[in-house]
Amino acid sequence: MKLDILYFAWVRERVGHSQETYETSAATVADLIAELVARDAGYAAAFADLSAICVAVDQELCDFNTPLIDCREVAFFPPMTGG
């Protein structure tokens, strides 16, 4: 399955880019994170503290157990600071 993965704020800075297309067979968000962390130190640093990471699947906020079936876009970011 091909996914667009987006990164924002300090997650983007640690990973080193804002967007990528990624081929994966990960079943859930948590599986995807495990694959990414294994890629290089930047990803490992970005995902070192999962309590500081939020995720949206197809632009809806969700949690790490969310399945990735038929999903097209996953975004990782720190807790939001709007307002």
Partner 1 sequence: MLARVQEAAFDFAAEVTAFQSTLTRSGAVVSFTGLVRDDTGSLDHMFIEHYPGMTYAALQKIADQAVEKFGLEKALVIHRYGRLQPGEAIMMVATAAAHRKDAFAGADYLMDYLKSRAPFWKKELSKDSATWVAAKDQDEAALAAWSSESAAKES
Enumerate binding residues for partner 1 (CB under 8 A): 6, 8-10, 56, 59, 61, 73, 75, 77-83
Smallest separation (angstroms) from partner 1 to the CB of 81: 5
Sheet of 60-62, strand order: 19-23, 2-7, 73-77, 54-57, 60-62
Residue 52 in contact with residue 71, Cβ under 8 Å?
no
Nearer to partner 1, 27 or 73 (CB): 73
Nearer to partner 1, 22 or 77 (CB): 77
Nearer to partner 1, 8 or 22 (CB): 8
Smallest separation (angstroms) from partner 1 to the CB of 80: 5
Smallest separation (angstroms) from partner 1 to the CB of 34: 23
